[in-house]
Amino acid sequence: MNAFYKMSYGLYVVSSRKGGRKNGQISNTVFQAAAEPPLVVISVSKENLTHEYINESKVFSISILSRNTPMTFIGSFGFRSGRDMDKFKGIDYKTGMTGAPVVLENSVAYLEAKVVNAVDLGTHTLFIGEIVNAETLKEEESMTYSYYRDVKHGHAPKAAPTYAGKPGV
């Protein structure tokens, strides 16, 4: 058993904007890093369109996914690029107070952040964001990465920091 698989994560949609355009991606690497002020950290692949949008607008939203999120929804936000499709077409979302889109569909809560720092990790950038808005939407349980992997038999693409090279693990 690989020790990395013993680590726990949630599952989120991280969204951002560039001018009037919007995009989002699935991310499991999201965590709160401080309380005063409230800071969150996300790790985003430099190859992703969402990276380009956050770099440009310096804002992002985090939608915390419900355990009941369909695999087709995760497939669209996590395995397709906004370069090839409009991921928000037909999706329930709103424009947040930062101007970033906020996915409401399959979400139990959301947070909005303004980037206050960034750390270059080579393949990925750690964006550190200060929370400027947050709301709980539903009382359903949140999706965890292990539930997604072990119960739903989902896997992660190469852009995910936790990518292991083999599907289903």
Ligand X SMILES: Cc1cc2nc3c(=O)[nH]c(=O)nc-3n(C[C@H](O)[C@H](O)[C@H](O)COP(=O)(O)O)c2cc1C
Which of 60/98 has CB closer to ligand X? 60
Residue nearest to ligand X (CB): 78
Bridge partners (DSSP) of residue 155 are none
Which of 86/135 has CB closer to ligand X? 86
CB of 96 to ligand X, least distance (A): 18
Name the residues that contact ligand X, by CB under 6 A.
Answer: 23, 25-29, 43-45, 48-50, 74, 78-82, 148, 154, 156-157, 159-161
- Residue 120 makes CB contacts below 8 A (sequence gap 6+) with none
Give, in order, the Cα–Cα distances in Å from 14 to each of 23, 26, 43, 44, 99.
Answer: 9, 6, 10, 9, 14
Count other Cβ atoms within 10 Å, centred on residue 89. 7
Which of 139/163 has CB closer to ligand X? 163
